[in-house]
Amino acid sequence: MLPICATCGKEMSISKVGVCVVYYLRDGNPYYLVRGDAVSCPKCKNTVVVRFGKKKEHYQLGFEHELQAALANEANPPIIAREG
């Protein structure tokens, strides 16, 4: 079941699969990246990312390479999330 928009009471629908989220700490350092699916409300168009896969943490092998690839992906740009 997909999320229900709390404002409109409508079931949200998938608007984009495999959206990358890059999470930054308050100090500006990237902490992890993760992929999920974007779902949108058909009425108000509010969009959230849900159904996350496994996180790639900053200390894991290949993190920097994946981060740079995600940031350079103009066709499917990442969502930048920030702590606090």
Which residues form the interface with Zn ion (CB under 5 A)? 5, 7-8, 41, 43-44
Q: Which is nearer to Zn ion, 46 or 81 (CB)?
A: 46
Residues 81 and 21 sit within 8 Å (Cβ to Cβ): yes
Closest C-alpha among 25, 46, 47 to residue 38: 47
CB of 18 to Zn ion, least distance (A): 23
Q: Is 45 buried (19+), middle (13-18) or exposed (0-12) by CB count in 10 A?
A: exposed
Comparing CB distances to Zn ion, the nearer of 7 and 68 is 7
By beta-carbon proximity to Zn ion, the closer residue of 21 and 41 is 41
